[in-house]
Each structure stands twice: as C-alpha cells, then as structure tokens.
Copies of this chain bind each other. A is one copy, B any other.
Amino acid sequence: MDVVEHVTQKASEARQAARVLANLSTGVKNSALVRMADALEEQQATVLEENRRDLEEARRQGLSPALIDRLTLNPKGILEMARGLREVAALPDPVGEIVRMWRRPNGMQVGKIRVPIGVIGIIYESRPNVTVDAASLCLKSGNAVVLRGGSEAIHSNRAIADLLSTAGQKVGIPHGAISLIERTEREGAMAMLKLDRYIDVIIPRGGEGLIRAVAEHSTVPIIKHDKGVCHTFVEEDADLGMAEEICFNAKVQRPGTCNAMETLLVHRAVAQNFLPRIVDRLKKAGVEVRGCPRTRAIVAGLKEATEEDWFAEYLDLILSVRVVENLNEAMQHIATYGSGHSDAIVTQSYDRALKFLREVDSSAVFVNASTRLNDGYQFGLGAEIGISTTRIHARGPMGLEELTCTKFIVFGSGQLRE
C-alpha cells in the first residue's frame, strides 16, 4: 500500500468511527479512559523500549539535545500520562449539553445542543505525550482523532496508540477512533491536508515552519497553535515589588513555552527605579537582557535590542526591554510586534487596567498576573489540547468544550414558514 492510500484509509476509518463515537454514553468513554490509564502503567516497559529505539535513531541522526530531550520518555512521565487520562475521565462530558433553548412567537422551541466536531486531525512534532493528551481529549468529547506525529517519535507513538486502541476496544470504543498514521513520509502529511471529506479540522502543534506549511496547503479547516511573543507592561502606578515577581515568573519559570514573556515594557516614570533591580535579578538567573537606548542608559552593559528582537519569540533565557512614554505607546508596541498570544499589565490604576484589558487584542490579557498563567489547567478548563491563536472557533486554551460544535434542534407542533 502506498503512503497516500495508507493515510486515506486511516482517515476513512476515523470517519466511520466518528459516527459511533458521537452517540457513545459518557460511561463507556470514561471506562475506556480508565482502562487506557491502566494499560499505560502495565505496559510501561514496552513503551520505554520503543522510545529507546526512537532515541537511538535520533542520536544516530545527530538530532539536537533539545529535540532529544523532548522525545525522551521515563517512568515518571508515563505515570503522568496515565494520571492525565484519569483526570480527563473525571471531567464533565461536554456532549449533549443544551447550551441555550428558547421559545419563538409561533410556539416552536429552538435550542442549541453541543455535539462532537467529528474527526480531528493532529499534526505534531517530537513529544510522544501529545499522543495520549490528544487521544484522551478527543475521545472524551466524542471525536475520532487522526494522529500524525513526527518520524523521530514513530516507535513511541505507535506503541502508545496501539495500547490505547486495544484498551478502548475492550469496552466498546470503535476501531478507528484513535488512528495513528504509521507512515511518516511528507507526502502522507500533504495527503492528509486534502482529506476534507473525512477530516473536519486539523490542529497543527509545532514550530513555525510546520504551521506555515499546514496553513499553506490544507483544504481542511485548521486551528493554529502559533507562537507567542508575549509582553508585560510595568505601568507608572505599578506596585514594583509585585511587578518584579510577575516579570521574573513570566520570563524564568519556564522560558521554552509559548506564554513566557519575551519583551518587557516599562513606563519611563518608573524605569529608573525598576529596571536596575529586575535586570539584576534576571541576570542572576542567567537571562540575557537586550535593551532599547533608554534602557541601556539606565542599566549599563546591556546588548542593544534591534527591530528583530521586538518580533522575536526567543523560547529561551533572553529578554528584550523597552522604555515607553505611556500606556498608548505600550499598547501600540504590542499591536505592532506582538503575536496576540498573552499580554499583561502591572498597575494599580483602575482606568488603565480596564483600558488595557479592553483594547489589547490577545488570546488572554492579564492585569497583575503572570502571562505564564494562560493555560487550560490554570484557567480551570480541566485540560487543554493547546493554545489557539486562531480567531475563529476557539481562541486561547482549548479544552473539551472547544473540541465540540453545536447544532440547532427544534421542537415543533406543525410550524410552517409563512
């Protein structure tokens, strides 16, 4: 079978499974998730063995240490995946919720009810835990999933997907509900992007290149999980102690994530006071600080921040810093260079807090909190499949609800169109 046939078959099996999944009871879905968690724990050794095969190949091919790190599974990570499955089982089932229902003057009752999207494609890189996260969230929300991971993780992904499918089928999850594409040639991914007759939406998770290629070629609707060029603006009325904690957390707590701060904006009235202390603390934590001319006039010895820096998603211990005149200049900077991901203001001013919340157009806008909190668990959505930077369907952390759509239902008693 050639790769395009393989991908087409997997997607078509997922489509078939989706019809069954849409009408499965919550009980069946939950017991499948719990079985899957048990199976992961019981078959830990197999998964780790397959992961070792991927790692050997990765080293042989000279992949970067960062990539190898993301690819590596260990017993603790597997237990976490199993815990994640049980947590998803414990979440409320979004399917069947009547979002709203009302009565029309002609007596008919019109309602909107939550239903699964259908078949969700996930295209992702490296991290084999995405296989578990995506499969569990799609299953709970009644969707079939077509998983297309990177070639570097194929053995790990196959071991995990097999084990999940087998465990699920034992309690009535249909074949095809979790479909892993086992042929990782580029051609296969390209074919997947054209299968709009089987796949309802594709979520690309990975670097800019992956996302651009998917957006360029897909005839299936996509929901991007794109980069985060995130800002914190320390306003003139900020509590500078709080500002220091928030900025430090946003930059240092986990710099490799999309919601980590990349650019710090400081109001000129507090720059003299605030910049030396935060730069000092960041430097001690190993952060390279790059500044605008006014920043460098206040703190000596900093590298100059260039135009390129303002656009940069470092995903690393690097920070660009700019001193601005006022709130409008800060918001103008964010509108020009930001990516609409996560942006924060630190201020005690009521008016300016509300203005920032209203006018900054990002998936999450914060007053007096770290941008690192833009996350499904932190927001209380229970679990997330990622953070959408697309403006339609879902924006920000995508939980179970965002993996559903609605349909209208009408209870009539003979109503006609006049």
Contact = CB atoms under 8 A, between A and B. Distances in A.
Interface of A: 19, 22-23, 96, 102, 104, 108, 110, 115, 117-118, 196, 200-201, 215-216, 219, 221-223, 239, 242, 245-246, 249, 253-254, 335, 353, 357-359, 361-370, 372-375, 378-380, 390-393, 395-397, 405-417
A393 B396 contact: no
Contacts of A380: 102, 104, 110
Contact of A366 (B245, B246, B254, B410): B410
Given A196-B215, A391-B201, A405-B395, A108 B369 contact: yes
Given A117-B392, A379-B104, A393-B392, A417 B221 contact: no
Given A239-B414, A364-B407, 14 more contacts: A23-B358, A23-B359, A102-B380, A110-B379, A118-B391, A221-B222, A221-B391, A353-B411, A361-B407, A365-B409, A368-B411, A369-B415, A392-B393, A393-B393
Q: What secondary structure prevails in chain A residues at the interface with B? A: mixed
Contacts of A353: 411
This protein's copies in its complex: 2
A372 B108 CA distance: 13
B415 A370 contact: yes
A108 B410 CA distance: 39
A364 B410 contact: yes
Contacts of A396: 406-408
A104 B409 contact: no
26 contacts: A22-B359, A96-B358, A104-B379, A104-B380, A117-B392, A216-B219, A242-B414, A245-B414, A245-B416, A246-B414, A249-B416, A253-B417, A357-B409, A363-B408, A365-B407, A367-B412, A368-B411, A369-B410, A369-B412, A370-B415, A370-B417, A373-B412, A374-B408, A375-B417, A392-B405, A396-B407
Contacts of A409: 357, 364-366
Give the one of A216, A357, A413, A414 with max B CB within 10 A: A414
Contacts of A222: 221
B392 A407 contact: no
Contacts of A367: 410-412
Contacts of A201: 391-392
Contact of A415 (B118, B358, B373): B373
A127 to B, nearest CB: 19
Contacts of A390: 221
Contacts of A246: 414, 416
A234 B374 CA distance: 50
Contact of A410 (B104, B215, B373, B416): B373
Contacts of A104: 378-380
Nearest to A380: B104
Contacts of A219: 215-216
A391 B253 contact: no
Contacts of A415: 368-370, 373
A199 to B, nearest CB: 11
Nearest to A392: B393
Contacts of A216: 219
B391 A405 contact: yes
B412 A368 contact: yes
Given A221-B390, A369-B414, A369-B415, A408 B364 contact: yes
Nearest to A415: B369
Contacts of A335: 19
Nearest to A360: B407
Contacts of A118: 361, 391
A407 B357 CA distance: 10
Contacts of A379: 104, 110, 408
A391 B361 contact: no
Contacts of A23: 358-359
